[in-house]
Amino acid sequence: MQKYNCMIVEDEPLAAEILTDYIKQVPFLQLTHTCSDAIYAMELLQTQPVDLIFLDIHLPKVKGFDFIKTLQHPPHIIITSAYQEYALQGYELNVTDYLLKPIAFSRFLMAVNKLAPPPAQHPPAAERPWLFFMTGKKKVKVWADEILYVESLKEYSRIFTIGKSLLTKCPLHEMEALLAKFHFIRVHRSFIVARDKIEAFTATEIDIAGKQIPIGRSYKELIVSMLEQNG
C-alpha cells in the first residue's frame, strides 16, 4: 500500500507523541520526521519532501502560519492547536483541517480521511472488485480492497473499512464464503480479516489498523502457521 509521508512539527513532546500514535493507526499514513521547530522542518523539506504536515501554530523561532507562507509548493497541512481563534486564518491559508487540542482519535480520522488515499495504492477502478451490501433500505458499494475486517453480530455482520463501518444483514459464514476469493481468512468465530491488512500478530491476536482482533483457539495453529510462512 502506498502511503502519505507525514511530518510532525510540534514543540510539545506529549502532543507529538499522541500524533505519532494516531498516525501509526492509519494504514495510509507513514511518519518520516518529527521536528520541534519550523527551521529544522524547512531544512528537511529541501531534500526530503513530504505529502502531509501536522503543524502546531505557536512554535519557537518561526510561527506556524509564517512557516506555511515560506513554502512555495506546500503539501497538505493539518493544523494542531490549542487556540480556536486562529482557525479562520488557517483556512485562509488553504489548510486541509484545523484540529483543536486535546485531539480525539475520531476527530483525527475525520481530518486525514479528507485526503483521498494515494491513487497508486489501487489498480484502475475498472479492475477493482466491489460488492454491494444491503444496509438499511439501500445497497451500498464497498470496494473489496478497502475492507479491513468483518465482525459477526449474530445474523448481522459489521464491515470495517478505513475510517468507517457498515452493518449488513448477512451472517458471518455467508460473508466468509463471499470474501474468500479476495484473500480473507476466518481467525475467530466472530471475525474474518483481510490477510494483506494484517500489520502484526501474536499467538493470540492480530493487529489491523489499531484494532486487536483475537485468534480463536480452534483457528490458532492454522492461522499462525499461515502467517509465519507469509502465505
Give the closest residue to 6 by CA, choosing from 30, 26, 24, 35. 30
Query: Residue 10: what pLDDT?
Result: 97
Query: Residue 231: what pLDDT?
Result: 47
pTM above 0.95, yes or no: no
Query: Residue 108: what pLDDT?
Result: 94
From first to last of the 231 residues of the chain, give the pLDDT tens digit.
Answer: 568 999 999 999 999 999 999 999 998 899 999 999 999 999 999 899 999 999 999 999 899 999 999 998 889 999 999 999 989 888 888 899 999 999 999 999 999 988 865 544 445 555 688 899 998 888 989 999 999 999 999 899 999 997 788 999 999 999 999 998 888 999 999 999 999 899 888 989 999 988 899 999 988 888 888 887 754
Cα torsion for 57, 25, 148, 27, to the nearest 10°? 70
Query: Residue 41: what pLDDT?
Result: 95
Query: Residue 103: what pLDDT?
Result: 94
For each of the domains in the chain, give its residue range(s) and CATH number, in order of start: 4-119 (3.40.50.2300), 129-228 (2.40.50.1020)
